[in-house]
Amino acid sequence: MAEKKAKNDRSLRFYNEVLGLERLHYGLWNPEDEFSITGVKKAQKRYEQHLIDQIPAGSKSILDVGCGTGIMSRNLIDMGYDVEGLSPDINQKEIFTQQNRTRFHFCRFEDFEPDNQYDCVIMSESAQYIPVNMLFRVAGKAIKENKYLLVCDYFLSNSASGPLAKSGHNLDQFMAEAGKRGFKIIYDEDITDKVVRTLDLGKNIADRILLAINIGTEKIRQKYAFLTRFILWMFRKKINSVQEDMRLLDSEEFKKNKIYKLMLFQLNAVDNRG
């Protein structure tokens, strides 16, 4: 894979290496879940299981697109599926290949040239990274006729604006492209209300980290007030971007701009493979 296309996603590394999360997606929360890292791990496991439950009966071969650490792939292999993983991220390649003996495709999905066709292609929070037209074009080549594409991700509403509108596909455009390429929706679930607690927890952790930095630097800031003002001015762009990032963790803002969906598509036609 061309070096410049290889990714090293630091925010995903933060979730994995600092917070100790094996799964890199939102969680599906129940009201009684503990509001903590333990709680989010449980909710993420429930999310993964819910996704696996939607794999149509009779499926055998699976491509896990944007497979992250490979934990879902490992669970699917243990359940008897033939699984291959795909990710353009160099760290995930290492983790995945250490844990799984199965085939791994080190590339972006939009560059993937399948030499195999699968019963089910799964995109667990990875569809948002792939340009919509390429997603359905490549999926059309990778999926057997009448077989399935399972997508779980957030999408933008038509009125989305501001920092939250920077990630995610527009839902209407996504569905239009699916239809154009012969993908028919056969299961559609809105899980927004069940996933947003993941953001509330992320915000709570970020607030506590910022508070700790504030307390830790209090003496220095008092002693060197002028220098502090100068440093804050020097790093004003970075500080603004941190403030913007904090808005990304606001669950009410999320609900105003986005919808989190679990969708199963069936590829009906073969005349869409151009």
Binding site for ligand SAM (CB under 6 A): 7, 9, 12, 23-25, 65-68, 86-89, 92, 108-110, 124-126, 129-130
Q: Output the smallest distance, CB 109 to ligand SAM, in A.
A: 4
User: The dihedral of CA 24, 30, 31, 36: what is its sign?
Assistant: negative
b/e string for 157-180 if b means 16 or more Cβ within 10 A? beebeebbeeebbbbeebbebbee
Neighbouring CB atoms inside 10 A of 226's CB total 7
Which is nearer to ligand SAM, 104 or 183 (by Cβ)? 104
Neighbouring CB atoms inside 10 A of 63's CB total 28
Q: Output the smallest distance, CB 127 to ligand SAM, in A.
A: 9
d(CA 202, CA 197): 9
Which is nearer to ligand SAM, 52 or 221 (by Cβ)? 52
Token pair, residue 49, equals 């299981």
Which is nearer to ligand SAM, 170 or 268 (by Cβ)? 170
Q: Output the smallest distance, CB 152 to ligand SAM, in A.
A: 8
Q: Output the smallest distance, CB 129 to ligand SAM, in A.
A: 3
Which is nearer to ligand SAM, 66 or 182 (by Cβ)? 66
d(CA 154, CA 127): 9
Q: Residue 110's closest CA among 127, 90, 122?
A: 127
Which is nearer to ligand SAM, 23 or 169 (by Cβ)? 23
Q: Output the smallest distance, CB 89 to ligand SAM, in A.
A: 4
Name beta bridge partners: 61.
82
Q: Output the smallest distance, CB 178 to ligand SAM, in A.
A: 17
267 within 8 A of 182, measured Cβ to Cβ: yes
Which is nearer to ligand SAM, 198 or 251 (by Cβ)? 198
For helices 90-99 and 71-78, angle between their N-to-C axes, nearest 10 degrees: 30
Which residues make Cβ contacts (< 8 Å) with residue 169, sequence separation at least 6? Answer: 127, 128, 132, 153, 155, 156
Q: Output the smallest distance, CB 92 to ligand SAM, in A.
A: 5
Which is nearer to ligand SAM, 115 or 271 (by Cβ)? 115
Q: Output the smallest distance, CB 267 to ligand SAM, in A.
A: 19
d(CA 119, CA 89): 24
Which is nearer to ligand SAM, 131 or 268 (by Cβ)? 131
Neighbouring CB atoms inside 10 A of 26's CB total 25
| Residue at shortest CB range from ligand SAM | 66
